[in-house]
Amino acid sequence: MKTTSGFRKLVTYLIFVGIATLFWFILALNDNIQDDFDVKLEFTNVPDSVTFITVPPEEIHVAVRDQGASILRRALFVTPKLHINFRDYAKDGKLIYGKSELNAGLKGLFGAGATLVSTSIDNLSLDYTTLPGKRIPVVVSADFSAAVGKVIYGQPSSTPKSVTVYGTRDVLDTITRVFTEKIVRTNLEDSKDLSVRLKNVSGARIEPETVKVHVNVEMLVRKEANVTIKAEHLPAGMDILLFPSTATVEYFIPMSCFNRDDVAPEVSVDVRELQASSKRLPLHLGASPKDMLNIRVLTDSVEYTLVRN
């Protein structure tokens, strides 16, 4: 195959294509082209006591026009990084790096022959503080509802329970709580851990900016209990005997509370409801633990006898 005229023509064609490509590449490198760069920001000489309230950007997006050779060299071999001396531009809680300083700094990175077509920011204006942070508790703002047969047991909790807030003296003296963004979840079948952002506080920086919120979802189980009946509004010098003296109460409760016997609904009779025509008093449900649902007394009334003390 190598000795055929067709193979020699193909080789000759490929050689000329390679030469043409090389010349085109050389000519293209001398033309002006445009490319985008991500310039990293690095602040130098920042004291350890300084905390930026306004979080500085990590990088600036810059569109640059220059000769192809320069663009290619920077794209392949150079990671542009803009160094900003904190002590030169910071004063009285404010770091200002203006438009002219920004353009000059970028020009220094890309060379005098480069043209800055556009930048993602025009200037930097950053608030900072030298005060230590203050620990502030987190309040979960949420609207949860469980699926049928389930219940939200307990209050949603955050991890961590408090965060560090940095700011001016006025801000730190007035802030007492930090709220999460409002969380809305419906028909929850299982317990959840949700990553939630904290609401911004004007003039302050919060670390961390997000917390993990835990919502506990449990199965509802049916339970019965015998409860001693209480008598209300009993006249002085009188006592009352109830038959029976206890009532059976049915209710639904979270599964983790099933074995607890220290809480139960209250059942009572009101002596003011005594009627001469009846020897029975109706039963009433009183205060009940908030975790009990669908509470029902299986007996609607009891017999009574009034006696003097």
Judging by DSSP bridges, how do beta strands 94-97 and 90-91 pair with one another?
antiparallel
Task: Give Rg (Cα) of the chain.
Answer: 38
**Residues in Cβ contact with 243 at an 8 Å cutoff, skipping those fewer than 6 apart:** 302, 303, 304, 305
CA angle 29, 122, 37 (to 5 degrees): 30
pLDDT of residue 104: 87
Confidence (pTM)? 0.70
Contact status, residue 275 vs residue 295, Cβ threshold 8 Å? no
Rounded Cα distance between 108 and 180, Å, is 43
Number of Cβ within 10 Å of residue 272's Cβ equals: 9
Nearest to 60, CA basis, from 87, 85, 83: 83
Distance CA 172, CA 8 (A): 83
Q: How many CB atoms lie within 10 A of CB 3?
A: 6
Calculate ∠ Cα 139-157-155, nearest 5°.
Answer: 95
| Alpha helices by DSSP H, 34-190 | 68-77, 86-89, 99-110, 169-174
Q: What pLDDT sits at residue 23?
A: 61
Element (H, E) at 56: none
Q: Residue 69: what pLDDT? A: 56
- DSSP classification of residue 283: -
pLDDT, position 24 = 64
> What whole-number distance in Å separates Cα of residue 306 and Cα of residue 272?
12
Question: Tens of pLDDT along 208-230?
Answer: 999 999 999 999 999 988 889 99
Tens of pLDDT, residues 97-138: 998 898 888 888 777 677 788 888 889 999 999 999 999 999
- Which residues in the chain show pLDDT less than 50? none
Q: Are strands 178-179 and 134-139 parallel, antiparallel or unpaired?
A: parallel
Whole-angstrom Cα distance, residue 3 to residue 288? 102
**The pLDDT of residue 191:** 93
Helix, strand or coil, per DSSP, at residue 308: strand
Q: Can you give the pLDDT at residue 68?
A: 55
Name which of 183, 167, 184 is nearest 175 in CA terms.
167
- Which distant-in-sequence residues (6+ apart) come within 8 Å of 133 by Cβ? 51, 164, 165, 166, 207
Under DSSP, the state recorded for 180 is B
Q: Which among 84, 68, 67, 70 is positioned nearest to 121, based on CA atoms?
A: 84
Give dist(CA 250, CA 265) in Å, integer: 9
Contacts of residue 108, defined as CB under 8 A and 6 or more positions apart, other chains included, come to none
Structure tokens given for 211: 């917390």
